Amino acid sequence: MRKSRSKSSRSEDLRQLRKTRPRKSSRSKVFRKAKQPKANSIPPVMVRGDRQLKSTQRSGQNERVKRRYDVALSTPGAEIRLPSFPKMQVGWRVLSAILVGLLGYLLYTYWYSPAYRVAATEVEGQQRISKHDINIVANVAEQPIFSIDPVVVEKNLEDAFFDLSDVTVMVSVPSLVTVVIEERSPILAWNQDGQTMWIDSSGIAFPPRGEDGPSVIVEALDPLPLASNEIDFEKVPENKPTRFLPPQLLSAILAISVHIPPNTPLFYTEERGLGWQDIQGWDVFFGTDLKDIEMKLSVYDSIVNYLLQAGIQPELISVEFVHAPYYRLER
């Protein structure tokens, strides 16, 4: 009985003691748990800027992986370990550098190679212009074929030679430059102020070249009324080929030239227009208005037939006005 009572008294004492002790709050347990660092956690590091982070990353990236090679021998269990070498990685920068170097070497080789230098131009279609003159203006001798611009060469030739109606320059590797030209065909020669100009079928004037000139010759005693048609052939490179003779005047000259003896020069004056000196000794003029040139020529033939039948020797016959022709016995 005593033992049971003693046990009960002890349990009651423990209960009383627990009641009298202050209880521990749950917050302190949570707080203690939160403050205790974990064994595997990384302590926080305060870093200003990203230099340290970049340096750590670079140090990891710059480390080259090394390969180890073991060579087995014929003896069982024996092998040789060869020295380890870093693993090489070829990036796009290395490839681009190699490519640039290769292209630079090829460009240097081709640029200074004699096989790709032009000796002279091959000229086709020339009649009066010499190949030597074409080569001087083209200026492609001893030049690398890669540096020649056909458009520039064509422009230089057109500016230097008015008597070229068409120019084509062809460049082909390794060293061939071909110039195909088409020259203007002169149909008459125009003499004015001591200068001689050749005129083609389009009325464009250009300097005479060669000895075979046109048979129709016009001696201009007065300049043409159109100042824009005046060309100074002493400054050929500074001028451009333009129409010198109006189409109406050009067609009139060609129509009149059929009725005069060969190599007989025509005259042109601003007052009386076109005319010539007949082989029978008189001068004839057709005026500046040449729209009715065929009718004027017909009237002139009628006047000449009348004068020859009448035995009259005039000094001048004028058909300047088709409805009022006249002749003079004295000048």
Instruction: Kindly report, residue by residue over 265-316, the tens digit of the pLDDT.
Output: 999 998 888 999 988 889 999 987 778 888 998 999 999 999 999 999 999 9
Residue 42 — very low, low, confident or very high, per pLDDT cuts 50/70/90? low
In a domain, 67, yes or no: no
Q: Which of the listed residues 151, 183, 215 is the one where a domain comes to its end?
A: 183
Taking only the tens place, the pLDDT of each residue in 56-98 is 455 445 555 556 666 677 777 667 766 666 666 667 887 888 8
For residues 245 and 312, state if they share a domain.
yes
Alpha-carbon gap, residue 35 to 259, rounded angstroms = 129
Same domain, 151 and 206: no
Confidence class for position 326, pLDDT limits 50, 70, 90: very high
Is the model's pLDDT at 127 over the cut of 60? Answer: yes
Residues 200 and 301 in one domain: yes
Q: Do residues 303 and 235 share a domain?
A: yes
pLDDT of residue 31: 44
138 plus 238 within the same structural domain? no
**Mean pLDDT (the chain, rounded):** 79
Q: Which residue among 165, 183, 201 closes a domain?
A: 183
User: Is 26 inside a domain boundary?
Assistant: no
- Identify the CATH number of the domain in which residue 157 sits: 3.10.20.310
Judge whether 13 lies within some domain. no
160 and 194 share one domain: no
Cα–Cα distance for residue pair 75/54, rounded to 1 Å = 50
Task: Identify the CATH number of the domain in which residue 220 sits.
Answer: 3.40.50
Same domain, yes or no: 168 and 208: no
The more confident residue out of 24 and 68 is: 68
> Quick one: which of 179, 244, 255, 167 has its CA closest to 216?
255
**Are residues 297 and 208 part of one domain?**
yes
Helix (H) or strand (E) holding 16: helix 2-20
* Residue 106 is assigned to a structural domain of this protein: no
Asked whether residue 122 falls in the same domain as residue 229, the answer is no
Q: What's the pLDDT at 139?
A: 92
The verdict on 307 and 203 lying in the same domain is yes
Domain containing residue 214: 188-328
Specify the pLDDT at position 248.
83
The residue among 154, 183, 212 that closes a domain is 183
**Number of domains making up the chain:** 2
225: region left, alpha or beta (phi > 0 left; psi from -120 to 50 alpha): alpha
Q: What is the mean pLDDT of residues 201-221?
A: 89
Residues 193 and 153 in one domain: no
Residue 15 pLDDT: 75
pLDDT digits (tens, 9 = 90+) for 233-277: 454 444 566 678 888 888 888 888 888 877 789 999 988 889 999
Q: Name the strand (E) or helix (H) holding 169.
A: strand 164-172
